[in-house]
Amino acid sequence: MSGKKRKFVNRLNDLSNKEWLLFQKSWLIHNPPPRCRDVLVHPAKFPETLIQEFIEFFTKRGQLVLDPMAGTGSALIAAMRCGRASIGIELSPKYARIAEQLIAAEREQLEAEGEVLPAQLICADARDLADLDVPEVDYCITSPPYWDMLRRRGFETQATRRESEELDVTYSDDERDVGNIDDYQTFLDKLADIYARVADRLRDRAYLTIIVKNVKKGGTIYPLAWDLARRVGEVLTLKDEKIWCQDDQRLAPYGMGNAWVSNTMHHYCLNFRKERQAKGKGQ
């Protein structure tokens, strides 16, 4: 029997051993740079800098990334910057137009440095994923609406945004928008259905990352992250969570002198994998 050690092969990503190890820490602090004016209109944009870290860990260069709730295209832009192809689905024509403009500007800038892989934005309902001719993808990263919290007048920065006529307070008034569903269980069912459809498009052993928060409403906490972990875990294997901490947010004296009410400054990044035997339920 040969005493030679089997050569290490990194089948998941292109990172060095040190970079791999650093990403495995179960929490991170990420305070994104200020948003440019074109995307300030969107009430809950996620930073490309954060998304790029996840894409670089869960894929290799040249692979295909999906975001079924693309917003203004953060995931697609992050994918372009690290040499991945991408597809985004966005329900709102307004945000889809903004995303296409930002993607075009990013492509023009990156093409000066070399080849840029395709980034396709589709204006459609993610529940129609099976009918959109989306190929098998190598990774999905996305963040859903945090229930209908954007419709609550006191939600985080809502008061400031209401003072501006240019900044959206909600995603849309579209009845298909899951962010407009006021019943929690119905909202959860709709989200779980969308992610089951995503599972059908993932190749075997590919990962899905969902960035989400638990939410407080009417004095009650709704464990959205934990409920999604359980529901999506019915079609994909929940592998772990990574907690994104934000330490640049202003503190508010909720419940001071009377009751415990936290300043919630973290998100759960839930990481699922499609095992070879797993089957999606989206058909």
**Residue 280 domain-assigned?**
no
Give the confidence band of 170 by pLDDT, cuts at 50, 70, 90: very low
Decide if 283 is inside a domain.
no
Average pLDDT over residues 102-128: 94
Look up residue 200 and give its two tokens.
């059908």
Decide: residue 4, CB within 10 A, 0-12 exposed, 13-18 middle, 19+ buried.
exposed
Q: How many domains does the chain have?
A: 1
Q: Indicate whether 30 belongs to any domain.
A: yes
CB 241 within 8 A of CB 158: no
Question: Residue 262 domain-assigned?
Answer: yes
For 222, the domain range is 25-273
Domain membership of residue 185 (yes or no) is yes
What CA–CA distance (Å, rounded) separates 191 from 235?
A: 13
CATH number at residue 190: 3.40.50.150
More confident residue, 158 or 268: 268
Q: Which of 135-144, 156-165, 258-267 has the lowest mean pLDDT?
A: 156-165
Assess if residue 3 is contained within a domain.
Answer: no
User: What is residue 45's predicted lDDT score, i.e. its pLDDT?
Assistant: 63
pLDDT at residue 41 greater than cutoff 90: no
Residue 221 within any structural domain of the chain? yes
The number of angstroms, rounded, from the C-alpha of 180 to the middle of its chain's C-alpha atoms is 18
The per-residue pLDDT for 86 is 98
b/e per residue 8-34 (b: at least 16 CB within 10 A): eeeeebeeeeeeeeebeeeeeeeeeee
State the pLDDT at residue 177. 84
Within-domain flag for 215: yes
- Which pTM value belongs to this model? 0.86
User: Which residues neighbour 16 within 8 Å (Cβ) at sequence distance 6 or greater?
Assistant: none
Q: Which residues contact 231 (CB under 8 A, 6 or more apart)?
A: 188, 191, 192, 195
| Pairwise CA distance, residues 39 & 45, whole Å | 7
Q: How confident is the model at residue 282 (pLDDT cuts 50, 70, 90)?
A: very low
Nearest partner of 89 among 144, 166, 170, judged by Cα: 144
